Amino acid sequence: MGRPRKFDEHQVLRSATETFWTSGFAGTSLGDLMRATSLGKGSLYGAFGDKQALFQRVLDGYCANVTAGLREHLSGPDSSAASRLRALFDAAVAAGASPGPQRACLLAKSTAELAASNAEVAVRARQTFTTFADLLQAEVESAQAAGDVPGDRDPRRTAHHLLAVLRGMEALTEAGMDESVLRDAADTALEAAGLDQA
């Protein structure tokens, strides 16, 4: 019973995500959020709590999405684990190649802004990156089993290296570095993992 909500929670969270993504946590005001979501303050506070709590919801949702996306990609229809890994790095290069101002990964931005002062954000970041590493490791192992990666490679170590390169490419993308830089980083990383280029 009671009056039903007029808004769709998912849609509101999507709008809020967009806003925080563009302006960061400190750079986003409640007014911005009200405009983006078309909700009054009362509804916003009633449904999500204060700005901090809403941000946490947004960040958690974003991390879940990104993790799910990566998991889906890595178990995708692509023929081999090796080609899926290559596709992943190709996508990272392509993301940085598009012209215009770049909007980096929300998780990267949030970690840079808040991880040092907000334990919850730090935990979420750490956990998400750890999951990334695990997924990459599984993929390396799979490629190894298929004979596309030499057996002498330590999958965990390799995954950690690939993760670092991916995050580094993200950072270089933020700075608007040339595509060639990203290309070089991606190719060298894949080579180091033992994956020959097509």
Site for DNA in 9-48 (CB under 7 A): 28-32, 39-43, 45-47
- Nearest approach in angstroms of CB 167 to a second copy is 4
Residue 31, contacted partner among a second copy, DNA, none, CB below 5-8 A by kind: DNA
Residue 29 binding result from DNA, a second copy, none, given CB thresholds of 5 to 8 Å by partner type: DNA
Interatomic CA distance for residues 73 and 86, integer angstroms? 11
Q: Which of 27, 49, 69, 150 binds a second copy (CB under 8 A)?
A: 27
1 binds DNA (CB under 7 A): yes
Q: Give the CA dihedral 18, 23, 25, 29, nearest 10 degrees.
A: -90
Judged by CB under 8 A, the stretch of 46-54, 75-83, 141-149, 159-167 that binds a second copy is 159-167
- Give, in order, the Cα–Cα distances in Å from 144 to each of 25, 76, 160, 196: 42, 17, 16, 13
Q: How far apart are CA 100 and CA 42, in angstroms?
A: 37
Longest dimension (CA), the chain: 64
CB contact set of 35 (below 8 Å; sequence gap of 6+): none
Is the C-alpha dihedral spanning 15, 27, 170, 62 positive or negative? negative
Residues 40-99 touching DNA, rule: CB under 7 A, are: 40-43, 45-47, 50-52
The correct pick among 57, 82, 143, 170 for binding a second copy (CB under 8 A) is 170
| Other beta carbons within 10 Å of 198 | 6
* Type of residue found at 154: D
Examine residue 88 and tell whether it contacts a second copy (CB under 8 A).
no
**Residue that has been written with the tokens 């802004």 in this structure:** 113
Q: CB of 187 within 8 A of CB of 161? A: no
User: Could you say which of 129, 131, 138, 141 contacts a second copy (CB under 8 A)?
Assistant: 129
93 near a second copy, rule: CB under 8 A: no
Which residues are near DNA by CB under 7 A? 1-7, 28-32, 39-43, 45-47, 50-52
Which residues are near a second copy by CB under 8 A? 22-24, 26-27, 101-104, 108-109, 111-113, 115-117, 122, 125-126, 129-130, 133, 154, 156-158, 160-161, 163-172, 174-177, 180-182, 184-185, 187-189, 191-192
